[in-house]
Amino acid sequence: MSIVGPLLIASLWVVPIWLSTRDTDQKTIEILDDSGYFNEKFTETSSLKFEYIQTDLVAAKTEILSGENYGLLYIPRINIDDPEGITFFSGKNPSIEVIQDLEWAMKSVVEDIKLERSSIDQATLDSLRADIDIDMINMTESGEKAGSAGVATIIGYISALMIYFFIFVYGIQILRGVIEEKSSRIVEVIVSSVKPFHLMMGKILGVGAVGLTQYVIWLVLSIMITTGISSYFNIDRKDSLPAQTEQAEIIQEDQGNEFVAEMFNSLESIDFGLLAFAFFVYFIGAYLLYGSLFAAIGSAVDNDADAQQFQLPVTIPLIFSLIVLTAILREPDGSLAFWLSMIPLFSPVIMMMRIPFGVPYWEIALSLTFLIAGFIFTTWLASRIYRIGILMHGSKVNYRILGKWLFMKN
């Protein structure tokens, strides 16, 4: 899994890119234009080719039925102010994409005609258009930096998701591990050598260490594979481009470079030292917090199926924090964001989303204090349940019994 994982992750990025760059079959569309406005006005694209015909509609329709061409666009004599009756005939249901392309092309033709009618030429029109691009500057005490909501969002999302997935995947692994030890009865031999608390912490830390190693391998391999494959595809694409579009491609590339440059500029606005530190501590804190809860659940039940009912209350806060991310994104400094980042169950995911947008140090410090208190509390809670749970077999456990175990003396 350590090796296959990164391949799977890389394929998540690469396959859609590959699919979208793949050449689709060029479809031929017949144009029967009774209005005369659209003759030779459609431009050929990589997916669409146009043939202008002059027969009558009935003959054209029968030809479409023969199946050689994709479809027939019939334009009757239309009133340019109220174009109606334009119809697309095809053997199959046409794709939305094709229809939209046709509609866009016709729209611009009609607009041009209307513009001409109001004696505005293309040059005048172009000079009327405006292009506005707001530069974002983050002001900090150490100076001004280019900011970017986009970059902050991406970084926030990635780090929040990484914490979320790590807890989920390895939390479940802790749960499974504890259930296995309990149901295979090895646990009684081991707790006759070490304290239950030590066994539990050993399990949590051990799975955590395995997980971190796996994560790092995944991360490195994923980046390697993704960059490797995507650079391969870039080269591939350039080679296959027809000569006349090179010009456009260069312009696009320039824009792309500009975008990348802007991204890099705005990366400066993010305090990566703080981000790395926060990621590390929230990561560890969240893992310990949730990990001990998963260990407690595992100790209380006899098999995976019984674990379901107790798993839900633990996973819901985790899923909830992922769902509210969009709301946090809308207002990274709002009161919802603030309060959720004070609650240890939510704070790791929420804070990772917020930190790229800038969070005051005192808030981070306060939130971390609560998180540490939180995981000390859940570890205590879990160890109380664990020490009794692992030796209990066959009895159905419910929340009342768990509560009783909690306050049972040693």
Partner 1 sequence: MKDINLEVPKQSIFGLLGPNGAGKTTLIRIITQIIFADTGKVHFDGRVINAEDVRKMGYLPEERGLYKKMKVGEHLIYLARLKGLSRNEALTKIKYWFKKFQIVDWSDKKIEDLSKGMQQKIQFIATIIHDPSLIILDEPFSGFDPINVNIIKDEILELKKNGATIIFSTHRMESVEELCDHIALINKSNVILNGSKHDIKQNHRTNTFIVDYTGEFRNTNEHFLVTEESKTDEGYIRSTIKITNDQSPNDLLSLLIREVVVHSFQEKIPTMNDIFISKVNEELNA
User: Between 1 and 243, whose beta carbon lies closer to partner 1?
Assistant: 1
Instruction: Pick the binder of partner 1 from 65, 125, 158, 194 (CB under 8 A).
Output: 194
Q: Are strands 137-140 and 48-53 parallel, antiparallel or unpaired?
A: unpaired
Retrieve residue 301's tokens: 């039940």
| 289, 378 contact by CB (below 8 A) | yes
Among 391, 398, 404, 406, binds partner 1 (CB under 8 A): 391
Count of residues that interact with partner 1, criterion CB under 8 A? 18
Stretch that binds partner 1, among 181-189, 244-252, 286-294, 396-404 (CB under 8 A): 181-189
Residue 7 has which token pair? 């391949």
Distance CA 58, CA 61 (A): 5
Sole residue written with tokens 């595992």: 298
- Nearest-5° angle of CA 175, CA 325, CA 288? 30
CB of 45 to partner 1, least distance (A): 58
Cβ atoms of 335 and 266 closer than 8 Å: no
* Measured distance CA(396)–CA(253) in Å, rounded: 64
With binding defined as CB under 8 A, does residue 192 bind partner 1? yes
| CA-closest candidate to residue 183, choices 352, 390, 338, 341 | 390
Q: Should residue 335 be labelled a site residue for partner 1 when binding is judged by CB under 8 A?
A: no
Determine the residue type at 374: G
Looking at the Cβ atoms of 197 and 370, the one nearer to partner 1 is 197
Nearest-approach distance from CB 410 to partner 1, in angstroms: 4
By CB under 8 A, tell whether 191 contacts partner 1: yes
Structure-block tokens of residue 19: 């699919």
CA count, 13 A, side-chain hemisphere, 74: 14
Determine if 193 is a binding residue for partner 1 (CB under 8 A): yes
**Interaction between residue 188 and partner 1 (CB under 8 A):** yes
User: Is residue 142 a contact residue for partner 1 (CB under 8 A)?
Assistant: no
Work out which of 7, 136, 190, 401 binds partner 1, going by CB under 8 A: 190
Please state the closest distance from residue 5 (CB atom) to partner 1, in A: 20
Q: Which stretch binds partner 1 (CB under 8 A): 107-115, 186-194, 212-220, 225-233?
A: 186-194
DSSP-assigned letter for residue 43: P
| Closer to partner 1 by Cβ: residue 187 or 340 | 187
In a 3-state reduction of DSSP, which class is residue 292? helix
Q: Which of residues 10, 60, 187, 207 is near partner 1 by CB under 8 A?
A: 187
Binding interface with partner 1 (CB under 8 A): 181, 184-196, 391, 393, 409-410
